[in-house]
Amino acid sequence: MTKPVAVLFDIDETLVHTGGSGARSWAYAFDKLYGVKADIGKHTSAGETDPEVGTETFEAVLGRKPRPSEMVRIYSEYLLHLAEDIWHSEQYRVFDGVVETLSRLVDAGVILGVVSGAMEGAARTKMMPGNLNRFFIFGAYGSDSPDRTELTRMAIGKAARLHGRGLAKDEVMVVGDTPRDMDATNQAGAISVGVATGHYSAEQLKEAGGVWVLESLTESFPET
């Protein structure tokens, strides 16, 4: 296996646990704008992009499809609340091995990027308390596409442009914690690395197509 040129990371439950900050912020947005209770955990599943989460929750609690302008307002209120809530989230934490792994990859000359279903503003905000933004040169987000496979391809394309040439499949790793991450990575043409720090076990991530699966980022990537 070739040493990776680029490694792309999901955020939620891969790098950090926000302690429910995202869910509280979605609930705040729906309550402020529509006066309804909204629990994204009841209407969505892990690995969905923010546009999927917002739309599916809207349809479930309001009983109709949202207009684009309505989703824009929800996103704005969500992000404003998240920017405050994340700093007071008592259970927020950076997972063991994350800083050490990112530092080692940077020292090895590997390009680091984000591939996250979160909107860019939310993704960057979630990394701020852990001071993780400093490691990532670029990213692709749910605000770029609601389809995780497409946004993964976009991230790979950005890595290739930064490197100055097309990248082969075995030169790019994408690290995530859900079966959706594994499937999107495999479809996008990169090496899927599962990390069992979220809601799915190592075995479930292997069954979902994870090429390499780690219990946590305290373990080293193969060939890195």
Read off the pLDDT of each residue in 153-181 and give the average, rounded to a whole number. 94
| pLDDT per position as a tens digit, 109-159 | 999 999 999 999 999 999 999 999 999 999 999 999 989 999 999 999 999
pLDDT band at 207; cut points 50, 70, 90 = very high
Complete domains list, the chain, with CATH: 6-17+94-214 (3.40.50.1000), 21-88 (1.10.150)
Give the torsion sign (CA, 149, 151, 156, 160). Answer: positive
Read off the pLDDT of each residue in 196-216 and give the average, rounded to a whole number. 95
| pLDDT per position as a tens digit, 72-90 | 999 999 999 999 999 999 9
DSSP state of 68: H
The predicted model scores a pTM of: 0.92
Residue 192: what pLDDT? Answer: 96
Residue 223: what pLDDT? Answer: 61
| pLDDT per position as a tens digit, 36-57 | 988 877 766 666 888 888 899 9
pLDDT surpassing 60 at residue 92: yes
Are 65 and 21 contacting, i.e. CB atoms less than 8 angstroms apart? no
Residues 91-129: b if buried by 16+ CB within 10 A, e if exposed: ebebbebbbebbeebbeeebbbbbbbbbbbbbbbbbbeb
Cα 10 from chain centroid? 3
| pLDDT per position as a tens digit, 6-37 | 999 999 999 999 999 999 999 999 999 999 98
| pLDDT per position as a tens digit, 192-201 | 999 999 999 9
